[in-house]
Structure 1
Amino acid sequence: MNTVLILGGYGAVGREAAAALAGVPGTRVIVAGRNPGRAAPVPGTVAMRVDAADPADLARALDGVTTVLMCAEIDNARVAHACLKRGIGYVDVSASHDLLAGIGGLDDVARASGATAALSVGLVPGVTNLLARVRAERAPSTELRVGVLLGSGEHHGPAAIAWTLDGLGTLEGSWTMNFPVPYGSRVVHRFPFSDQYTLPGTLGVPAVRTGLCLDSRLLTRLLAVAGRPAAARLLRRGRVRSLLLGALARFHFGGDGFAVTVTSGEGEGDGEGGVSFSGRRQSRVTGRAAALLIRDLPALPPGVRHIEQLVDPIAFLTELASDGFDLLLGPDGR
């Protein structure tokens, strides 16, 4: 019996992963959070109150668990260490580079216990990492460009909204990329997604740039304005930040679609040569990707690795796409 503990399991991603895992034979799913009584139950799963910030409470929750899926950012390196030291598999959907780097330092702990830790699991990073590997293997280049288009109408939790606001204005630059129908050509603005920091090391590509746009062209232009240094500083002020977070949590504009595209450098592969993945509800694809990886985790080698180092990218993306998403590998797709 594979017992999976999902920390932060009542968020959008955690619920999607729990629903997918609940249907896997021989899998027991525990959905955990600090206040499970406030959330609707996930059918086919067991609810548990767990405060991951409390080491004693975490230790109690890990008894009998074979795999932990981390869907929150609560001292993740400490949580990962507690899991790996016990020989418990660990999967993390976090998108913060500093956090992932901290977990990466636990490779010796994982190897010693025979456990596997999988990082960069989800849409961004995750699907983008796999597309980047496909593109790098097909068309070696000195630079990869990753374009991310997100639906501005999808509901996101306060932590995700705050993370996005904090990323605005940290990097300069923009460029044009082609996304699958119905989006077409869009301007993406440089954004500090974690894959641009990890992919040079895992794929051996000298440079990787990641950019963000929204399905609404108007909101993308506002995003660019908000990313200017003066505006970004203003958005980080306490009261302004609180008011904006509250407004963004209540009001949604646009749809819930997403698309990610990877090309080889500026002006290269923006048409037929690019590879892309698209669909609806980014939280759904992240949860489903995590569920697929957890299913295969026992057969993967021990150690701490990013998703593109663990799975065959085309096989994984093809299976993920069969769940209602679209994978475009270009004219040479296999």
Structure 2
Amino acid sequence: MNSVLILGGYGAVGREAAAALTGYPDTWVIVAGRNPGRARPGPATAAMRVDAADPDDLARALDGVTTVLMCAEIDNARVARACLERGIGYVDVSASHGLLAGIQDLDDVARDSGATAALSVGLVPGVTNLLARICAERSPASEVHIGVLLGSGEQHGPAAIAWTLDGLGALDGSWTMSFPAPYGTRTVHRFPFSDQYTLPATLGVPSARTGLCLDSRLFTGLLAAAGRPAVARLLRRRAVRDLLLKALEKIHLGSDGFAVTVSSGTAQASFSGRLQSRATGRAAALLIRDLPAMPPGVRHIEQLVDPVAFLTELASGTVDLRLDLQVDG
């Protein structure tokens, strides 16, 4: 029996991962967080109150668990260490480079206990990493370009919105990317997703850049404006940030579609669909299913799976997701 503890299991990604995991045989899912009243347990799932910031509470929650899926940013390296020291598999969907770098330092801990930690598991990073591997292997180039188009109409939790707001101050440069229909060519703005920082090491590519845009051209324009120094300073003010967070939780201008495109040299590949949270949750569940057969240590998703096979299975059986591997080059 594979017993999966989902920390941050009440959020959009955690709920989608739990739903997908319960479709696999011999899998028991525990959705956990500080407020179990927000949980919506389904078949083969349970809810548990866990404060991951409390080491004793976390240790109690890990009893009998075979895999932990981290869907929150709460001292992740410490949580990962607690799991790996006990031989528990660990999967993280975070997009913050600094956070993932801290977990990478636990490679020796994971190898000594025979446990596997999988990082960059989701849409971005995750699907983007796999598309980058496909393109870089088929057409090596001096730089891999990654474009991420997210639906501004999809409902996101306050943590995801806050993470995006915090990243606006790090916008650095812009370029155009070609996305699948109906989006076409869009301008993307460099955003601090972790994939661009890890891919040079995992794939051996000289450089990688990840840019973000929204399906709403209006919101994309506002995104670019937020990168200006004066606006960035304003967003760092607590009162302004809190007011904007509350507004963005209520405003959903746009669709729930998404698309990611990667290019390297003459090669380009895309993955698109609806509901980025669902895509991330399904990707995490798919990797967790196969985690016991993966080698011990800390690795990113592109180092653990065959990218074409993984993405093909991720897109299969649903009309929500589409993989375009018409790669030139």
Instruction: State the match for 2:108 in structure 1.
Output: 108
Q: Does 1:201 align with 2:201?
A: yes
Report Cα offsets for 1:283-317 as digits up to 9, x if no partner: 00000000000000000000000000000000000
Structure 1 unmatched runs, 5+: none
C-alpha deviation, 1:236, in angstroms = 1.4
Question: What is the one-letter code of the residue matched to 2:109?
Answer: V
What is the alpha-carbon distance in structure 1 between the residues aligned to residue 327 and residue 33 of structure 2? Answer: 45
Q: Does 1:282 align with 2:276?
A: yes
Q: Does 1:311 align with 2:305?
A: yes
What is the alpha-carbon distance in structure 1 between the residues aligned to residue 238 and residue 169 of structure 2? Answer: 17
- Pairwise mapping of residues 76-87 of structure 1 onto structure 2 (< 5 A)? 76-87=76-87
Instruction: State the match for 1:126 in structure 2.
Output: 126
User: For the Cα contact (< 8 Å) 2:154–2:255, is it kept in 1?
Assistant: yes
Change (3 A) 1:193 1:323: farther
Question: What is the one-letter code of the residue matched to 1:299?
Answer: A
What is the alpha-carbon distance in structure 2 between the residues aligned to residue 179 and residue 223 of structure 1? Answer: 18
User: For the Cα contact (< 8 Å) 1:15–1:42, is it kept in 2?
Assistant: no
Q: Choose 318-327 or 61-70, whichever is displaced more.
A: 318-327
**Runs of at least 4 residues off by over 4 Å:** none
Change (3 A) 1:54 1:323: farther
Instruction: State the match for 2:289 in structure 1.
Output: 295
Q: Choose 117-126 or 44-53, whichever is displaced more.
A: 44-53
C-alpha deviation, 1:169, in angstroms = 3.1
Q: Of residues 314, 323, 329 in structure 1, which corresponds to 2:325?
A: 329
Instruction: State the match for 1:35 in structure 2.
Output: 35
What is the alpha-carbon distance in structure 2 between the residues aligned to residue 167 and residue 223 of structure 1? Answer: 10
C-alpha deviation, 1:218, in angstroms = 1.3
TM-score (norm 1): 0.96
C-alpha deviation, 1:131, in angstroms = 0.3
TM-score (norm 2): 0.97
What is the alpha-carbon distance in structure 2 between the residues aligned to residue 18 and residue 192 of structure 1? Answer: 28
What is the alpha-carbon distance in structure 2 between the residues aligned to residue 164 and residue 320 of structure 1? Answer: 25
Q: Does 1:140 align with 2:117?
A: no
User: For the Cα contact (< 8 Å) 1:147–1:188, is it kept in 2?
Assistant: yes
Report Cα offsets for 1:37-85 as digits up to 9, x if no partner: 1333334311111111110010001011000000111110000000000
Question: What is the one-letter code of the residue matched to 1:228?
Answer: R
User: For the Cα contact (< 8 Å) 2:39–2:47, is it kept in 1?
Assistant: no
What is the alpha-carbon distance in structure 2 between the residues aligned to residue 260 and residue 140 of structure 1? Answer: 19
What is the alpha-carbon distance in structure 1 between the residues aligned to residue 301 and residue 230 of structure 2? Answer: 36
Instruction: State the match for 1:88 in structure 2.
Output: 88
What secondary structure, in the 3-state scheme, does the structure 2 residue paired with 1:286 have?
helix
Structure 2 unmatched runs, 5+: none
Q: Choose 165-174 or 109-118, whichever is displaced more.
A: 165-174
Name the count of aligned residue pairs. 327
